[in-house]
Structure 1
Amino acid sequence: MQVSTKLIPLAIAMAFAGSASAQQVVKIGHVGPVSGPNSHLGKDNENAARMAIDELNAKGFTINGQKVKLQLLAEDDASDPKQGTAVAQKLVDAKVNGIVGHLNSGTSVPASKIYHDAGLVQISPATTATQYTKQGFAGAFRVVANDAKLGGTLGKYAVETLKVKNIAIIDDRTTYGQGVAAEFAKGAKGPGVRIVGKEFTSATATDYTAILTSIRAKKPDLVFFGGMDSVGGPMLKQMKALGINARFMGGDGVCTEALGRLAGDAVGEDKVICAEAGGVKGAQEKAMTDFRARFKQKTGVEVQLYAPYVYDSVMVMAAAMQNAKSADPAKYLPELKKIKYEGVTGTIQFDQFGDIQNGALTLYTYKGGKRTRMDVIR
């Protein structure tokens, strides 16, 4: 059988094109809790990662002049450290080019060792435990302020602005909860200020009667809770039922749109003060407002908490790849260390430890069951 010589170059070209296409896929892993009590936050994060990937692909993302396809590999850690390390290894085995995640410090910190050993870059949009970047892993970054700043600022605010004297502290025994509570205690110093009680619960508990009854006897002006909104909301309900009229304060874990729904009328008016790691004001607010509108249009739901930081994490990783002209973590890591990127959450630059420089905090309260911004501070 005679084969036309005209078909041979075409066949070779098609085979080469298929091979080139296969080589032009850049895999970005995302990990968050899309099941369990924090699933509303994990889904928020995953939606934002997918939105960033879709936008980059739609624009024809290129590296070193070559068009590439970005692929999101999303995994669920269920806020569980064991599951977190298991999916971290799964992503390593899948040969991803970088990781965005995790949400919880308790999963992000142990997973970071696995990514480090594999030579991968990890950008966390939500991990606030100081331990995360203190490990000395070259590829570990975060785009939010850490617990030292968040907890310490809240402690100072409680004493200097709210003028509280008697403070009770509760944490959920997670890496995040204990860390932010400890930093809050360090910041809550002043004449006549006393920590009248320290209690703890768990991230899955539903009954806080015993610890709250103990706290009620000590008549605190303020209760600080280190943990997530899935516990903070029911805890506020039980505080109200027990007649505890103290102010309630927490870090970014409780500082969500969902807290008002979870707490019901127990959230009160100006009773809850919390802080989110991050925040913009002034000229940067338009970019954030535009992002929130695009997110709602794409997903059909409002931003819960960390979505803008996930979006920026993907974008800053992609920008570093473009600057390095490579998706190889060893090659784009140096570019990430020196990057200055204008994102929807503000200017992203990292210090020598991988922490965001001059990280912002946003203070919120709740009015009419809705989270209401008070101020952005740096």
Structure 2
Amino acid sequence: MAKRIIWLVALALTLGAGFAHAAPLKIGVLAPISGSSAADGNDIVKGVKTAVEVMKSEGGIPGFDSIEVEVQDGACDPRQAVAGANKLANSKVVGVVGEYCSSATIPASEVLNEEKITMITPASTNPKVTERGFKYMYRMCGLDIHQAKAATAFLKDQLKAKTIYIVDDKTTYSQHLAEYVAEAAKAAGITVIAHEHVNDGDMDYSAVLTKVKAANPDVFYMSLQSSSSGIRMIKQYRQMGIKAPVLSQDAVYHPNFIKEAPEQSQGVFFTFGYADKNSPVYKKFLDKYTAMHGEPGAYSAYSFDSAYALLTAIKAAKSTDADKIRAEMMKLNLPGASKVIKFQENGDSGSNYVIYKVEGDKYKEFWNPETGKLF
């Protein structure tokens, strides 16, 4: 009888250990799955899932037999993003990749930071994201102020612009970026003829574009929240026969912009982060992403890097404790698909904006503000 009891205890311990090992590691994604930025939001989800598969192919994370991804739709809406952050916290996720819009990331991060849950945004460029001293907040992309400097350097040094006409759609991201561009342009001696506003989701831009045509600026600066808005605006811009070169930014930069406006998009310039597409890490990302999802979107590489950095830190920490994860996050000097991942004390990872130009069906690297030279 004693032997039977010992055997049963041993069996229970074995099964218990097995169930402990079988516990999944859960990470969250908070992104706009619906609304005008849904294309970018779904790209973010796909990037995270790609990183999970790459990590699994590299042996996974000891102590967990699976890595689960839970997705919440933040819809680029502050209230919905907060609700999504609370759901992820209640689901006991270890970290969150998201949101896309700064207006959603900022309030959602308040929830997650209080719960000591690591958050890495792949796309929110507003400086406030990392200005609040939040210990568990990180950013993979660059900042608005640096994007504005790159845009202004291009306006002055390459386009030789004397005048510029700026339009944004009043979203937190696009308006703040447009304001930074306006300030930097004025400081560079470029006259801002006007800084107009439309509404996010407007279908007809004829009123503001009529003003642009009459003003005849050297450059038209288009700061909008999504590629869908950019597609509508560039089609109407070309239809009206406005001749000024167009410079836009990272939220409009998306494969859909070219696909859905193949003729009208030609020659449009963009600021977006530089990625070495010949690097081994980018090729590994691209091969896995393409096999799983098809063509990457604008923020696919940034979300891949966000998730991969989080998983790498968890693996190194051998723990899901937020402070231990942070200690490992701050040690990273990791080649990523979008950049070398190295976080500053405030959670930023640096900006690397260059100028792209639409040529044919591609975004071609055009000008590097760091060197002042064409690619």
**TM-score when normalising by structure 1:** 0.90
Aligned mates of 2:78, 2:312 — CA distance in 1: 30
CA contact (8 A) 1:267 1:369 kept: no
User: Retained in 2: the 8 A contact 1:360–1:376?
Assistant: no
1:1-378 → structure 2 map (5 Å cutoff)? 8-9=8-9, 11-21=11-21, 24-63=23-62, 66-189=63-186, 193-227=190-224, 228-268=226-266, 270=267, 272-280=268-276, 285-299=279-293, 301-357=294-350, 359-375=351-367, 378=370
Contact 1:159–1:189 (8 Å) recurs in 2: no
SS at match of 1:267: coil
1:158 deviates by: 0.8
Distance 2:330 2:56 in 1: 24
Give the drift of 1:191: 6.8
* 1:286 shift after superposition: 4.1
CA pair 323-287 structure 1, distance change in 2 beyond 3 A: closer
Conserved in 1, the CA contact under 8 Å of 2:98 and 2:119?
yes
Following the alignment from structure 1 to structure 2, what is the Cα–Cα distance between the partners of residues 199 and 310? 32
- Contact preservation (8 Å) 1:340, 1:347: yes
Deviations 1:237-274 (A, max 9, x none): 11122221111111111112111123342223x2x110
**Corresponding residue SS for 1:30:** strand
With 187-196 and 227-236 compared, the bigger mean Cα shift is at 187-196
- Aligned partners of 2:251 and 2:158: how far apart in 1? 22
Q: Within 1, Cα distance between the matches of 2:64 and 2:50?
A: 19
Structure 2 unpaired stretches of 5+: 371-375
CA distance in 2 between counterparts of 1:322 and 1:286 reads 21
Separation (CA, whole Å) in 1 of partners of 2:367 and 2:346: 27
Contact 2:203/2:232 (<8 A) preserved: yes
Q: Which moved more, 1:47-56 or 1:368-377?
A: 368-377
Amino acid at match of 1:324: A
Q: Which amino acid aligns with 1:43?
A: N
Query: Aligned partner of 2:242: which letter?
Result: I
Looking at structure 2, the residues matched to 192 and 120 of structure 1 have their Cα atoms a distance apart, in angstroms, of 45
Q: SS where residue 332 of structure 2 aligns?
A: coil
Rounded to whole Å, the distance in 1 between the matches of 2:168 and 2:265 is: 19
Deviations 1:151-179 (A, max 9, x none): 22101211221111120111111111012
Partner Cα distance (1:293, 1:57) in 2: 15
TM value normalised by structure 2:
0.91
Sort the Cα spacing of 1:212 and 1:68 in 2 relative to 1 into closer, same or farther, 3 A: same
CA contact (8 A) 2:99 2:124 kept: yes
- Structure 1 residue identity aligned to 2:358: Y
Following superposition, the deviation at residue 296 of structure 1 comes to: 1.0
Residue 339 of structure 1: how far off its partner (Å): 2.0
Deviation, structure 1 residue 15: 3.4
Secondary structure in 2 matching 1:225:
strand
Contact 2:281 2:335 (8 Å CA) reproduced: no
- Return closer, same or farther for 1:327/1:376 CA change in 2, 3 Å cut-off: farther
Counterpart secondary structure, 2:261: helix
User: 1:190/1:107 Cα in 2 relative to 1: closer, same or farther (>3 Å)?
Assistant: closer
SS of the equivalent of 2:215 reads coil
**CA separation of 1:192/1:129 partners in 2, compared to 1, >3 Å: closer, same or farther?**
closer
- Is contact 1:60-1:67 (8 Å) kept? no
Give the whole-Å Cα distance in 1 for the aligned partners of 2:188 and 2:72: 48
- Hey, what's the Cα distance between the residues in 2 that align with 1:311 and 1:191? 36
Counterpart-to-counterpart distance in 1, 2:7 and 2:284: 51
Is residue 234–residue 262 contact of structure 1 (8 Å, CA) maintained in 2?
Answer: no
Q: Percent same amino acid among aligned pairs? A: 28
Whole-Å separation in 2 of the counterparts to 1:192 and 1:310: 37
CA contact (8 A) 2:186 2:192 kept: no
Deviation at 1:334, TM superposition (A): 2.1
Contact between 1:280 and 1:360, CA under 8 Å: does it hold in 2? no
- Counterpart secondary structure, 1:265: coil
1:198: how far off?
A: 0.9
How far residue 67 of structure 1 moved from its aligned partner, in angstroms, is: 4.4
Any unmatched runs of 5+ in structure 1? none
Contact conserved, 1:47 with 1:307, CA < 8 A, in 2? yes
Specify the SS of the correspondent of 1:339: coil
Q: Distance in 1 between matches of 2:96 and 2:369?
A: 29
Is the 1:291–1:344 contact (alpha carbons within 8 Å) kept by the matching residues of 2?
A: yes
Greater mean deviation of Cα atoms: 126-135 or 73-82: 73-82
Q: What CA distance in whole angstroms lies between the structure 2 residues aligned with 1:186 and 1:287?
A: 37
| Residue 25 (structure 1) shift | 2.3
Deviation string 1:115-164 (CA, Å, 9 cap, x unpaired) is: 11111111111111111111221111111111111122101211221111
